[in-house]
Chain A
Amino acid sequence: MSGQPVQPVRLPRLEPPLPGPPASSDAVLAVDHVARWFGNVVAVNDISFGLGPGVTGLLGPNGAGKSTLLHLLAGLLQPSAGNVWVAGQRAWGNPQVYRRIGLVPEREGVHDYLTGHEFVLLNARLQALPDVEAAVGRALATVDLVTDSRRQIGTYSKGMRQRIKLAGALVHDPPILLLDEPFNGMDPRQRLHMMDLLRAMAAAGRTILFSSHILEEVERLADSVLVIYAGRLAAWGDFRSIRRLMTDRPHTFTLRSSDDRRLAAALLAEPSVFGAELTDGLLSVRTSDFGAFTRAVPRIAKTETISLFEVRPSDDSLESVFSYLVRR
């Protein structure tokens, strides 16, 4: 990771960076010019934003600084510069903020020798809840782990471990949820269940921030998004605007067909296509309009009676998407 200078992309519906302490702001989570470095490695570099209720996705490639930012918000890391505010209180060195935060860490192990029920009970007791058993029952039911709750966590699958961690984070009914890669290890059914759950919790007024390096996860769940790249905030705001920006960027496609030369000539006549190259039997086409191009290809192939064997975007990795956002 480096501290290369990058400019964030400003999108139509933006939360403005906070100018100062959140006393004057309604943001539930507020990050004010925060930086964090480890030795000479800059993990988070001068980031500011404010978040209110709803689901926000923290999107970025591996190593972008997502976990560092979540740990700063959770008071588990001290900012090297700037301030982090949770519900108007400083996050660092203030255990009382944990009454309002539920955190699901990505990597941390769970007490394998405890049963699921005992783990959630431990969390409830540490929160000094008045009726711990009722709270534990609710949390286990929420994550659909009641029937397996008497088994030791050591026997759980990765998806079940994620869910028991979430139950532990939910047991005190916090208004703020911080989730680090919460869908890791979950099967598709569990993933959908968790997404429904998080949506429902956001609809009930909670502020949920979850990290992911998978665009589709964020797309399906988040109302708004923070895109982090190389420790900098590359873009933030409404997810659809960012998605459009990502989709409308110049794309390169690789095609294989029964007649690549003729297909290239026909495609070059399309206004959305601004370049085509035929090298080593592979046709590469550059387009400025993802949607128009993907509609044009089958139409042209049909008109020209060319059989398409493969149409593949060749630069659709998240790295390329993020570096494009940063360059803009």
Chain B
Amino acid sequence: MPIVGVTLRGLLGRRRTLLMLLLVALPVLIGLLIRLSDSRIGVDRVLDTMLVQTVLPLVALVLGTAALGSELEDGTAVYLMIKPVPRWRIVGAKMLVSAGLTVVLVVPSTVLAGLLAGGVGPASLGTTFGYAVAVAAGGSAYACAFVGLSAFTSRALVLGLGYTMIWEGVLAGLLEGTRFLSVRQATLGIARGLSGQPVREGTLELGLAVAIVAIAVGAAFALGSIRLTRFEIRSAD
């Protein structure tokens, strides 16, 4: 599909790729330091803090908002929209690429960081596997949400950052109800569910967490498509 190809080319610009590689290298580096220092920090804590709370939303935010938002901003998206292609296909392709790239970048980082920090014991492998699947699901939800958001506003990057830092980082810890609207909480729910860890208080159950991810992807796709169908160009006069 040509939109997938051109979006991929656009997202893999030299500077952005370098930034993303540096970001996903960070948890691996931390894992390596833990391994070398013989520290006893739990693998779930490393993956939770470094991947789920930090690297995952940042990578998905940069890729998700750039996939559509940057093209709407610089006007190149117009060349896609003046074609006999339904707008939902444009949104779908943008989501597919940004979610795919997020997964490709973050999952290996999760696996490597988990193996380095926790070793290859069965419990540690189970946790690493659970987190790898969870960041794939959560990364897709984040990326799709940010693609959808950038169909609505040119300030998607700032709003996305606000969502991950304030809503998920602060409010989700204070107000219990907000965790149902948190991709991070859903990601953690999947990770803990698949790791076989006992469900902690305040953690979403696996089924509910999967449902939240699915709803986030579906809603972002539907709303983004509707919005792009009614998209109007900024006129020169």
Residues 67-118 of B contacting A (Cβ, < 8 Å) = 74-76, 78-87
Which of B1-9, B149-157, B190-198, B213-221 lines the interface with chain A?
B1-9
**A239: min CB distance to chain B, Å:** 22
Asked if B74 and A98 sit within 8 Å, CB to CB, the answer is no
| Cβ-based interface call for B121 (8 A) | no
| Cross-chain pair count, CB within 8 angstroms | 88
> Contact between A95 and B84 (Cβ–Cβ < 8 Å)?
yes
For B82, the chain A residues whose CB sits under 8 A away are 74-76, 98, 101, 103
Of A105-113, A244-252, A312-320, which binds chain B?
Answer: A105-113
Select which of B6, B76, B229 is within 8 A of A109 by beta carbon: B76
Q: CB of B235 within 8 A of chain A?
A: yes
| B10 close to A (CB within 8 Å) | yes
Task: Tell me whether B237 and A66 are in contact (CB under 8 A).
Answer: yes
A127 touches B75 (CB 8 A): no
Q: Is B13 an interface residue (CB 8 A)?
A: yes
Cβ of B201 within 8 Å of any chain A Cβ, yes or no, is no
Q: Are B237 and A111 in contact (CB under 8 A)?
A: no
Q: Which of B2, B75, B235 contacts A68 (CB 8 A)?
A: B235
Using A123-B83, A168-B79 as known contacts, say yes or no to A77 and B233 having CB atoms under 8 A apart: yes
* Selected contact of A126 from candidates B10, B83, B230, CB within 8 Å: B83
Residues on the B chain within 8 Å of A78, using CB: 230, 232
Please, which residues of chain B bring their CB within 8 A of the CB of A95?
83-87
Q: Is B236 an interface residue (CB 8 A)?
A: yes
In contact, B74 and A109 (Cβ under 8 angstroms): yes
Given contacts A126-B2, A168-B79, whether A107 and B236 have CB atoms under 8 Å apart is: yes
Whether A62 contacts B237 by the Cβ 8 Å rule is yes
Chain B 176-190: CB-based contact to A (< 8 A → 1; otherwise 0): 000000000000000
- The answer for the CA separation of A85 and B140 in the assembled complex, in Å, is 40
B76 and A111 contacting across the interface, CB-CB below 8 Å = yes
List A residues 11-59 near B (Cβ within 8 Å). Answer: 38, 43
Which of chain A's residues 109-154 have a Cβ closer than 8 Å to chain B? 109-111, 113-114, 122-123, 125-128
A186–B26 Cα gap in the complex (Å)? 49
| A side interface size, CB within 8 A | 41
Which residues does chain A contribute within 8 Å of B10, judged by CB atoms?
111, 113
Tell me whether A93 and B83 are in contact (CB under 8 A). no
By a CB distance below 8 angstroms, the chain B residues around A180 are 236
- By beta carbon, the residue of chain A nearest B78 is A108
Which residues of chain A are near B3, meaning CB under 8 Å? 126
Determine the chain B residues whose CB is within 8 A of the CB of A175 once the complex forms. Answer: none
Type the 1/0 row for A51-90, where 1 means its CB is closer than 8 Å to any CB of B: 0000000000011111110010011111000000000000
Residues of A within 8 A of B6 (CB): 111, 114, 122
Query: In chain B, residues 1-57, which have Cβ atoms closer than 8 Å to a Cβ of chain A?
Result: 2-3, 5-6, 9-10, 13
Q: A1-B237, A93-B229, A93-B230 in contact; A98/B75 too (CB < 8 A)?
A: no
Q: Identify the closest chain B residue to A128 (Cβ).
A: B84
Known: A99-B84, A122-B2. A67 touches B236 (CB 8 A): yes
How many angstroms between the C-alpha atoms of A125 and B89 in the bound complex? 14
Q: How far is the CA of A67 from the CA of B78 in the complex (A)?
A: 14
Cross-chain contact of A107 among B5, B75, B87 (Cβ < 8 A): B75
Complex: how many Å from CA A283 to CA B84?
60
With known contacts A63-B237, A93-B229, A103-B82, A109–B75 Cβ distance under 8 A: yes
Question: Is A96 on the interface with B (CB-CB < 8 A)?
Answer: yes
A123 contacts which of B5, B79, B235, B236 (Cβ < 8 Å)?
B79
Interface residues of A (CB under 8 A from B): 1, 38, 43, 62-68, 71, 74-78, 93, 95-99, 101, 103, 105-111, 113-114, 122-123, 125-128, 168, 180
Extra contacts, 16 of them, besides A76-B78, A97-B84 (Cβ < 8 A), are A67-B236, A68-B236, A68-B237, A71-B233, A77-B235, A93-B229, A95-B86, A98-B84, A105-B78, A110-B76, A111-B6, A111-B10, A113-B10, A122-B2, A122-B5, A127-B83
26 contacts between A and B (CB under 8 A): A1-B237, A38-B235, A63-B237, A67-B235, A68-B235, A71-B235, A74-B82, A75-B82, A77-B232, A78-B230, A78-B232, A93-B230, A98-B82, A103-B82, A105-B75, A107-B236, A108-B75, A109-B74, A109-B75, A111-B6, A111-B76, A113-B10, A114-B6, A122-B79, A126-B80, A126-B83
